[in-house]
């Protein structure tokens, strides 16, 4: 039996869709996910930005999450230190994951907030840090220290 590349590609695509689900449909559920997070953890901050598209559904731009329990835990029992980092998301649509991570009394990582963005750039970092500031309070007043690996962008922020 011989199968050409086009048929093989389509068959693999269908198989992946059955196993992993449809990526486009999953992005359509992001509002439901945000609402569920807010219902299950009162005080949780979620922000979703989209780009309007003429004659079609809006295009996903970025999504921010700071769980209320993580916010309270950081303020109550973590050191005044926040590490900032971003990493690539692998998959059909790609993107970047931005994170703010604290350090607890046992020197373990403590996730404070995260965001999924299209690309790691100055605009997205400013958006992320302004939301983080609203959640954990003014940095200077709380005496927070930051660490990041943003050699190329830190001067602009």
User: pLDDT, tens digit, for every residue of 48-69?
Assistant: 998 888 887 788 899 999 999 9
The domain locations on the chain are 5-148
Query: In 5-156, at which residue ranges do the beta strands (DSSP E only) sit?
Result: 45-51, 59-66, 78-88, 96-104, 109-117, 145-148
> Which of the 8 DSSP states describes residue 154?
T
Q: Which helix (H) or strand (E) holds 19?
A: helix 5-20
| pTM for the whole structure | 0.81
Residue 39: strand, helix, or coil? helix
Give the per-residue pLDDT at 149: 78
């Amino acid at each position: 039996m011989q199968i050409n590349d086009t048929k093989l590609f389509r068959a693999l695509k269908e198989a992946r869709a059955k196993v992993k689900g449809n990526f486009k449909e999953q992005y359509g559920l992001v509002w439901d996910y945000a609402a569920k997070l807010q219902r299950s953890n009162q005080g949780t901050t979620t922000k979703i930005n989209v780009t309007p598209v003429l004659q079609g559904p809006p295009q996903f731009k970025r999504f921010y999450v700071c769980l209320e329990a993580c916010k309270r835990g950081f303020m109550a029992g973590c050191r005044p230190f926040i590490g900032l980092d971003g990493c690539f998301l692998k998959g059909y649509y790609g993107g970047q994951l931005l994170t703010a991570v604290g350090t607890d009394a046992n020197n373990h990582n403590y996730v404070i907030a995260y965001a999924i963005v299209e690309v790691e750039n100055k605009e997205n970092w400013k958006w992320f840090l302004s939301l983080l500031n609203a959640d954990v309070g003014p940095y200077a007043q709380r005496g927070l220290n930051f660490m990041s690996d943003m050699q190329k962008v830190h001067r602009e922020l």
